[in-house]
Amino acid sequence: MSEEHLVKYPDPILTTPCADFDFKNPPVDPNKCASALVETCKKHNGIGLSANQCGYEYRVFVMGSGDNYVAFYNPEIISVSEKTNNIEEGCLSFPELRYETRRAMKAVAKGFNMYGEPVTVEGTEFLARALQHETDHLDGIVFIDRLSDDLRKEAMKEIRNSDWFLESQSRGLDPKIRISPHRTNGQAF
């Protein structure tokens, strides 16, 4: 696998929960998968990228910067703090769209590294936000699903006027709004 095509909203793969990555019978070589995601993320100047953003329906994401990226397989958010913040957030699958999005300031995720070894990652602020954003992707949740009703309406208006969305619509793709399955402590969804 080399650099992959970046899937844009409203492609249905972005709103479909991904299957666990099976280490006993891997759908692709875990190392090649991580490398392709990192190459694609770097090409698009991202800090994180989930497998479904490249058209793959399994639970894998990468995040990092420069030459320091990590791959996370079958992640699950196991706890979030009650304290939240509202910071501008964007997504490679929503080119140039950025909105303040409420997220927990601390998150703990468990999963596996590319060798199938269990790992737990605890992040605060920016790392917590990235863990939540990428895990949401793998659950079929996109960041606009987390916006307040008013901001979501504003975002959808901006999306409907974008070239990338109009191109997707011409291929028969329609947007879906979903509710996050993660605890949000009464904030947004």
Q: Choose the catalytic residue: 3, 4, 89, 134.
A: 134
Contact predicate 27/177, CB 8 Å: no
CA neighbor of 9 nearest in space, from 89, 95, 132:
95
What's the pLDDT band for 172 if we cut at 50, 70, 90?
low
Residue 125, C-beta contacts closer than 8 angstroms, at least 6 positions apart = 85, 105, 106
pTM: 0.87
Residue 165: per-residue pLDDT = 84
What's the token pair of residue 113? Answer: 């590294």
What's the token pair of residue 17? Answer: 């929960």
Q: Which of 55-59, 90-94, 102-106, 169-173 has the lowest mean pLDDT?
A: 169-173
The three-point CA angle 57-62-64 to 5° equals 160
Contact predicate 104/128, CB 8 Å: yes
Residue 25 has pLDDT above 70, yes or no: yes
What's the pLDDT band for 164 if we cut at 50, 70, 90?
confident
102-136 tens-digit pLDDT: 999 999 999 999 999 999 999 999 999 999 999 99
What's the token pair of residue 160? Answer: 């409907």
Q: Is 96 left (phi over 0), alpha (psi -120 to 50) or beta?
A: left
Clarify whether 134 is annotated catalytic: yes
Residue 189 has pLDDT above 50, yes or no: no
End-to-end Cα distance, the chain? 36
Residue 186: per-residue pLDDT = 46
